[in-house]
Chains A and B, each alone.
Chain A
């Protein structure tokens, strides 16, 4: 069965410091992986995706993610965190006709 894991419920980082939000996956075949962000009382917004090609994927708002096939990971990163990055982040993967989401990681950027 397909699964996506986000091992950290919450990540705290100081403003200006680099941030990492972790994601690991278990899918059959070639993985199609995504990161979404959710601000309070809003729907999810697409950040970036990995389909094929370069292992480092760049997305919206300065975020990037590194695909590592051997570690089955797809960690979200940003070189310098902003207070406005504080939100709930979801990792997701397409399976056959269905998307599996992780449980989400709350990112808190401290001024």
Chain B
């Protein structure tokens, strides 16, 4: 199993550009989520999905869109990049959303810089 994969590893954007961060998992996990990590702020939840076709907002959803057309894939779209979106982005998956106490599996992260 490859686990959770993310592409790209690094990305530099100009303000106003759009892009999609890719996330895939091969563990048939029901739950997937996107976080951003900023110094001193821990991990903040952007969006999550409890299954294919179902998504919801997390703590900091503004400026981001997601979709979940398959169990495996959960792409994160930046609609119009802003310098405030400079961060490290992590995708994670879990067998279920938490009712069974399952841990999350994290991807290696995407380091995004917006100029």
Interface of A with B (CB < 8 Å)? 9, 32, 34, 36, 41-46, 49, 51, 90, 94-99, 101-104
Contacts and interface: CB of A to CB of B under 8 A. Distances in A.
A96 B56 CA distance: 12
A40 to B, nearest CB: 11
Contacts of B90: 43-44
Nearest to A102: B42
A102 B106 CA distance: 16
B56 A43 contact: no
A58 B58 CA distance: 31
Interface residues of B, number: 25
Interface stretch (B14-22, B43-51, B62-70, B74-82): B43-51
Contacts of A90: 42-43
Given A42-B108, A51-B101, A99 B33 contact: yes
Contacts of A94: 97-98, 101
A102 B41 CA distance: 8
A55 to B, nearest CB: 15
A49 to B, nearest CB: 6
B101 A32 contact: yes
A37 to B, nearest CB: 11
Given A43-B106, A98-B45, A101-B42, 8 more contacts: A32-B101, A34-B104, A49-B101, A51-B101, A90-B43, A97-B56, A102-B42, A103-B42
A34 B101 CA distance: 9
A36 B105 CA distance: 10
Contacts of B33: 99
Interface string B84-107: 000000101000011001011111
A104 B42 contact: yes
B40 interface: yes
Nearest to A34: B103
A102 to B, nearest CB: 6
A97 B33 CA distance: 10
